[in-house]
A and B are shown apart, each in its own frame.
Chain A
Amino acid sequence: MTMELDVFVGNTTIMDEEVYQLWLDGYTVNDAVKVRMDGGVMEECEASADVLLSDTMDQYRTFQMCERLLHSPSKLGNQLLFQIPPHRQAMLIERYYTFDDAFVREVLGKKLSKGTKKDLDDIGAKTGVTLKSCRRQFDNFKRVFKVVEELKGPLVENIRHHFLLSDKLARDYAAIVFFANNRFETGKRKLQYLTFQDFAFCAGQLISNWTVGAVGEPSVLFPSFVCYMDVDLDKEFLQELKELKVLITDKDLLDQHKSLVCTALRGKTKAFNEMETNFKNLSRGLVNIAAKLTNTKDVRDFFIDLVEKFIEPCRSDRWTAADIRLYLTHYNNSAHILDTFKHQVVWDRYMGVVKSCIFKMYHD
């Protein structure tokens, strides 16, 4: 029985979480009805296919009407059109901004522009995410990016405040925004094994240690305001990184560093021999990455460099994750004992992040 018109409006807006998810996933009404039928909801209440279709259409319409509000979630709280209990509002927002890891992995580090949007069908086909859902997710990234791009203050906080997201989701969005802003290369074949969560972790490390905001110093001009940007890397710090080159250019220092590390490692791992042979290579790799970060192009290649210069050699020598941990800890600490090495602060700030990134990125 097809209706010319069929609406159901509750004083408290009725929303079925299952249908909401189907809508978010980009199912058409008919497909959603099929999924629901297979899910056995019909037996639950002696419903017929007609009833299910009518309910699904109704819910879809409600979601479409809500979508405008979800674009600026703070409005959802004080709009008058829909009476939705606060916990349901939170659910609506959280789910709306939730994304597929497979999808985000494809666009991570890409410019959030029209050009990328055009590629969404390909990405959809590749990841198995419907085009509709891809668009929603992409638009969410873009929207969040646009709002927080110009904002001062801690990135995660800004996102959480403006989009009323949970801490976890806000952190993920911070990573997406950060990657998009710095255009980190993530798409190369060599990086394919890394998941979004690996990158998100690294982004978190970079945001909290390498950006201007990370230092937490109030600006000189506006001492009362915390006036810094979380989205960009600290330019001064990147300049200072050049100083680390001494670790590989000064032959004495390099040898000293190697012997300190080797002394500490001897007998503690099976891979000791490989570590000893590769020390200079690995050290050169890490220090060179640091020295080059003043170039925007090299910033973009940060992760690919880490993989090529460090992770791949280690992997070919079959280091275990524990080996990596052991090696990097001593590599980092030994530099402090070098008496001619004066850049301890910069070294720690650099190595702290690199260490944790490599730990995360090194899959056995």
Chain B
Amino acid sequence: MPGKLKAKIVAGRHLPVMDRASDLTDAFVEVKFGNTTFKTDVCHKSLNPQWNSEWFKFEVDDEDLQDEPLQVTVLDHDTYSANDAIGKVYIDIDPLLCSEAASVISGWFPIYDTIHGIRGEINVLVKVELFNDLNRFRQSSCGVKFFCTTSIPRCYRAVMVHGFVEELVVNEDPEYQWIDRIRTPRASNEARQRLISLMSGELQRKIGLKVLEMGGNAVVGYLQCFDLEGESGLVVRAIGTACTLDKLSSGSAPNTNTHMHPNTAPASNACNSPSKDGKEPVFGEDLTSSSGPPTPFRALPTTSSSPPPFSPSKPCSRQSSSSDTDLSLTPKTGKNTCFFYLQEFPFFTLTSFPPGFLVHVGGVVSARSVKLLDRIHNPDEPETRDAWWEEIRQEIKSHAKALGCHAVVGYSESTSICEEVCILSASGTAAILNPRYMREGSQLELEPSPPSCGFCHIPYDELNMPFPAQLTYCYLCRRQKVPDVLFTTIDLPPEAAVTGKGCLIQARLCRLKKKAQGEVNATAISNLLPFMEYELHTQLMNKLKLRSMNSLFGLHIQISVGENMLLGLASATGVYLTALPAPGGIQIAGKTPGELSNEHHILTIQKRINDTIAKNKELYQINPPELTEEVVGSPIPEPRQRSRLFRSHSESSDEVSELDLSHGKKDAFVLEIDDTDAVEDIHSLLTDAPTPTGFYSCNTEIMPGINNWTSGVQMFTSVRVFRLSNANLTNQGLNKIFTDLCENLLKSFYFKLRSMIPCCLCQLNFTVAVPEEELIQVTVTAVAMTFDKDQTQEKTADKPPTKGGSETEEQLQFPLELCADSSSANCQPTSKISAASVDYGSFADRCSTWLELLRLKAHTMRRGSVKTISSLERCSPLPEGRSRSLRSSRSFGGSSVTVVKMTPLSFLPGTRIIKYLGIINMFFIRETTSLREEGGVSGFLHTFIAEVFSMVRAHVAALGGNAVVSYSMKECMLMENPNKNQAQCLINVSGDAVICVRETDQEPTPSTTNIGHTSASATDEAT
């Protein structure tokens, strides 16, 4: 019995009227955990019942504590018939299991019903007493912290980054288990909610176990998704980065030292990959095997490695990369050794890193695969799904290797499902990480290039390039080679030197597809995929040039499948990296130069393009310093630096023409004016409206070029669904509709948020879906943040000095290394490997001791927690005393609701995070059979999203927090049937609950400041 869970039901308020005769309700509460249920007394005839129950105690395994949510059901007592359910609250008690997170859950929770929505609120108190358990074979992983944040959390220091963790669990979907009988909506929805909650708990526990095995104590960049595979089942999967984190005492500066764990124990390695031992895809139809196809054309359906100019189409390089998917210890380039090769998947879900961690970035690597879903026969052995992902990860790894990189950062995975077809996608950025961080005390190597441009330098061998690319000497250090364009999935490294500001760049694409079934359908889709990726890259490239920028950060390409079309949406933040060469312009060429009118037409278009480029340069303040040609030493002759508007994404190679012939049979290099596609391209290029004055937008954490945020923050979610009315649409028509949809959405945001100017939309996260044949759904979550306009210019002006400052700091931090041989990079490999293998044992030792320590620490903390609880109670947002006094007054006059801020970023400007309270991971279903009465689909979804926000806020407030960071809406699945007056929607959200204080505040007591605030407003309103 390693744990005792205690719950107390205090009161309810604003309950719905359940008895029409008396206009009142006889409410009571059932509290359920596992198979144990307790009941409160019935509180007769009240809409604001006071139960003030005893403490209900559950004695349970900590394994169950991790898996199960506490289920609170509010019911209306009925003497003669069955009791009516009012609604439920699921409380995830995971945050209470970690000593450093919350110690009590106490507050008002919205009572939620899947049919009626929120129906009143209930005040609940929950505590957990954990007993010390030294069982080594335990199945629980209490104490492992989880963070959605994709960087090292603000009040922690990374002692070690261990690497990739993944897990998935599968089950039958309760929605499809009423086959012969009639589906009862409430029962089905609640069963699904509960099941997903259970599965998430189990998944988190299993990942936690892996982390403990690796010797870590936390998962950073935890990304959990679920796939509703329809009748074939339900998959919940998660990936993350295992770390060992140390809490920083407030005041001490964050130490940037991070060490990579060289390897995991062989035993745990085997454990890490249940799918490793040769399991074969048994159920799914593997249509496009990801490894193997040696011809570039065949390879494309499943794979695409970027950046665009680096097409994976060069036959020789493709072949080599796809053939050595096995774990080779020989690095592609002799330059860096890689302990990472020892790891099965040297992947990191992080998108920003401690300074110096990232050495070089190769480019985007991605892989897609189309699968046919089949029933998961044995939920305990999810080997098919495991194998699918394993395959994709192997491919990503081989792509990274082809780019001369040993690791993949900013890694993420996603799926798109339509009927029985599923597209699995994974993408990341191939990178070389600093071996210096591998081990503590072995900081031998000094990165020779200045930190502000080092990551731009090519990781691959110049003479043996994996793909054709134009290289120049770095415009900052002039020593190393850099590519002409750089695409990545990560955030802009803070030390990077940037010219001007960044902006959101999107490529949008629709492709019609014939309706088909099964294998035929899957083949059709996989045949379309490469063309879509190719088009998207071309668009991105052209738009990048149009904005006079040379790199993309936070690139996210989503391809969504529907019954009769595929949607592709690529979003990224364009930046002008000072280290990279200036992008060339865009040139238009006509096919038939003889015609005069044509020539004139070309000239007008060319002029428009040039004007736009000039305008954009001004808009984004891109004024790169003038460089003398000789210093640049550009190997590219001047005229060729102007790249033309290509139908292909590659500049010069012959290989691409091969590829091109395979699908075009036309000269695709030059944009021809009598080519309708090309006209369309230009059109789409020029229709992108510039952001209105005072607005900036990006899809990364921070906007390059803005760093003086003020405190205005507005997180929002917006959903639009467009019904295609025209039955015979062309690809072009669809593209236009889709582009307009996205553009109008952005315009709407600018308009709605105009009161916040000057302001920047950050982490603009677009998700597209084809929920039904004629529907296109776009879901956006982002945050608008205000900033100080005047200071912006100042800071940008200051930029070079600041950079210099960080540089010296870096140097000061490792003064000894400055003297070390800076050219020793090449002779490092062997020594590093040996160092790792020698020290491995001692590390394992340290891990186990650390485990003991953790347990001891957890034990003492837990015992000490009694005190914390009482003090917390006193200052919790709604202490008992206060709520009672509120109750005694006739009306609930004053405002007693804690303000909870939400943001998709890892920080709130102007504040300091002082405590992480735990992960928020919630899944809700809402259904209605009275769609019209609820204001149509818009009214229905508007209410539901508002309800989800309010439930997230309530849970955070109950944990004692006042903000959610790294918030994301990972799923918003809407199904409607207006004819039947019905609709159903599923939403999955996640984030990190935190306590943050204003940066100016000295010693933080957020909850008390909160009380001060709320009580002040309460008295305000009471008087």
Known contacts A1-B744, A81-B950, A164-B1021: A9-B717 contact under CB 8 Å: yes
Contacts of A161 in B (CB 8 A): 891, 893, 1022
| Interface pair B945/A7, CB less than 8 Å apart | yes
CB distance from A260 to the nearest CB of B (A): 47
| Interface pair B895/A82, CB less than 8 Å apart | no
A46 on interface, CB distance cutoff 8 Å = yes
Contacts of B947 in A (CB 8 A): 81
A288 on interface, CB distance cutoff 8 Å = no
CB distance from A36 to the nearest CB of B (A): 11
Q: How far is the CA of A74 from the CA of B889 in the complex (A)?
A: 12
Contacts of B740 in A (CB 8 A): 1
Q: How far is the CA of A46 from the CA of B716 in the complex (A)?
A: 21
Q: How far is the CA of A57 from the CA of B938 in the complex (A)?
A: 10
Q: Which of B274-282, B306-314, B750-758 contacts A (4 or more CB under 8 A)?
A: B750-758
Q: How far is the CA of A65 from the CA of B939 in the complex (A)?
A: 9
Contacts of B900 in A (CB 8 A): 11, 83
Contacts of B607 in A (CB 8 A): none
CB distance from B980 to the nearest CB of A (A): 16
| Interface pair B692/A86, CB less than 8 Å apart | no
Known contacts A1-B744, A161-B1022: A79-B14 contact under CB 8 Å: yes
Contact among B741, B747, B748 with A8 in the assembled complex (CB-CB below 8 Å): B748
Contacts of A44 in B (CB 8 A): 754
Nearest-neighbor residue (CB-CB) of B902 within chain A: A11
| Interface pair A7/B108, CB less than 8 Å apart | no
CB distance from B891 to the nearest CB of A (A): 4
Contact among A14, A62, A75 with B14 in the assembled complex (CB-CB below 8 Å): A75
Return the CB mask of A125-154 against B: 1 if under 8 Å, else 0. 000000000000000000000000000000
| Interface pair A54/B899, CB less than 8 Å apart | no
Count of interface residues, chain B, beta-carbon cutoff 8 Å:
66
Q: Which of B2-10, B438-446, B720-728 contacts A (4 or more CB under 8 A)?
A: B720-728
Q: How far is the CA of A141 from the CA of B108 in the complex (A)?
A: 32
A221 on interface, CB distance cutoff 8 Å = no
| Interface pair A3/B121, CB less than 8 Å apart | no
Q: How far is the CA of A163 from the CA of B777 in the complex (A)?
A: 41
| Interface pair B895/A86, CB less than 8 Å apart | yes
A77 on interface, CB distance cutoff 8 Å = yes
Contacts of A5 in B (CB 8 A): 719-721, 777, 936-938, 941, 974, 976
A10 on interface, CB distance cutoff 8 Å = yes
Contacting residues of chain B (639-693) with chain A, CB-CB under 8 angstroms: 689, 692
Q: How far is the CA of A4 from the CA of B777 in the complex (A)?
A: 10
| Interface pair B750/A64, CB less than 8 Å apart | no
| Interface pair A64/B891, CB less than 8 Å apart | no
Contacts of B943 in A (CB 8 A): 65
| Interface pair A9/B892, CB less than 8 Å apart | no
Nearest-neighbor residue (CB-CB) of B974 within chain A: A5
Q: How far is the CA of A63 from the CA of B28 in the complex (A)?
A: 33
Contact among B722, B748, B901 with A11 in the assembled complex (CB-CB below 8 Å): B901
Contacting residues of chain B (933-987) with chain A, CB-CB under 8 angstroms: 935-939, 941-943, 945-947, 949-951, 953-954, 974, 976
**Band of interface residues on A:** 35 or more
| Interface pair A55/B714, CB less than 8 Å apart | no
Contacts of B721 in A (CB 8 A): 3-6
Most buried by A among B737, B747, B748: B748
| Interface pair A9/B949, CB less than 8 Å apart | yes
| Interface pair A80/B108, CB less than 8 Å apart | yes
B1008 on interface, CB distance cutoff 8 Å = no
A283 on interface, CB distance cutoff 8 Å = no
A240 on interface, CB distance cutoff 8 Å = no
| Interface pair B1021/A77, CB less than 8 Å apart | yes
| Interface pair B14/A4, CB less than 8 Å apart | no
A321 on interface, CB distance cutoff 8 Å = no
Contacts of B939 in A (CB 8 A): 61, 64-65
B246 on interface, CB distance cutoff 8 Å = no
CB distance from B862 to the nearest CB of A (A): 31
B894 on interface, CB distance cutoff 8 Å = yes
Q: How far is the CA of A161 from the CA of B945 in the complex (A)?
A: 32
| Interface pair A86/B754, CB less than 8 Å apart | no
B827 on interface, CB distance cutoff 8 Å = no
A271 on interface, CB distance cutoff 8 Å = no
CB distance from A98 to the nearest CB of B (A): 18
A89 on interface, CB distance cutoff 8 Å = yes
Return the CB mask of B875-896 against A: 1 if under 8 Å, else 0. 0000000000000000111111
| Interface pair B692/A162, CB less than 8 Å apart | no
Contacting residues of chain A (1-58) with chain B, CB-CB under 8 angstroms: 1, 3-14, 44-48, 50-52, 54-55, 57-58
Contact among B722, B894, B951 with A3 in the assembled complex (CB-CB below 8 Å): B722
B118 on interface, CB distance cutoff 8 Å = yes
Known contacts A5-B941, A9-B949, A89-B895: A47-B751 contact under CB 8 Å: yes
Q: How far is the CA of A46 from the CA of B714 in the complex (A)?
A: 21
Contacts of A52 in B (CB 8 A): 751
A78 on interface, CB distance cutoff 8 Å = yes
| Interface pair B891/A74, CB less than 8 Å apart | yes
Contact among B715, B953, B974, B1020 with A10 in the assembled complex (CB-CB below 8 Å): B715
Contacts of B692 in A (CB 8 A): 45-46
A90 on interface, CB distance cutoff 8 Å = yes
Contacts of A85 in B (CB 8 A): 899
| Interface pair A11/B1021, CB less than 8 Å apart | no
B897 on interface, CB distance cutoff 8 Å = yes
B1017 on interface, CB distance cutoff 8 Å = yes
Q: How far is the CA of A8 from the CA of B183 in the complex (A)?
A: 32
Contacts of A75 in B (CB 8 A): 14, 892
Q: How far is the CA of A78 from the CA of B953 in the complex (A)?
A: 13
| Interface pair A11/B751, CB less than 8 Å apart | no
Known contacts A1-B722, A45-B750, A57-B938: A11-B716 contact under CB 8 Å: yes
Q: How far is the CA of A11 from the CA of B952 in the complex (A)?
A: 10
Q: How far is the CA of A293 from the CA of B946 in the complex (A)?
A: 55
Q: How far is the CA of A46 from the CA of B1017 in the complex (A)?
A: 37
CB distance from B86 to the nearest CB of A (A): 16
Contacting residues of chain B (336-365) with chain A, CB-CB under 8 angstroms: none
| 5 further A-B pairs in the complex, CB-CB below 8 A; given A10-B715, A11-B900 | A14-B714, A62-B942, A74-B891, A78-B895, A164-B1021
Interface pairs A-B: 3 shortest CB-CB = A77-B895, A5-B721, A86-B1017
11 A-B Cβ contacts within 8 A?
Answer: A3-B722, A5-B720, A5-B976, A7-B941, A47-B750, A62-B942, A77-B893, A77-B895, A78-B892, A80-B953, A86-B1020
Binding site for A on B (CB under 8 A): 13-14, 108, 110, 118, 121, 689, 692, 714-723, 737, 740-741, 744, 747-754, 775, 777, 891-897, 899-902, 935-939, 941-943, 945-947, 949-951, 953-954, 974, 976, 1017-1018, 1020-1022
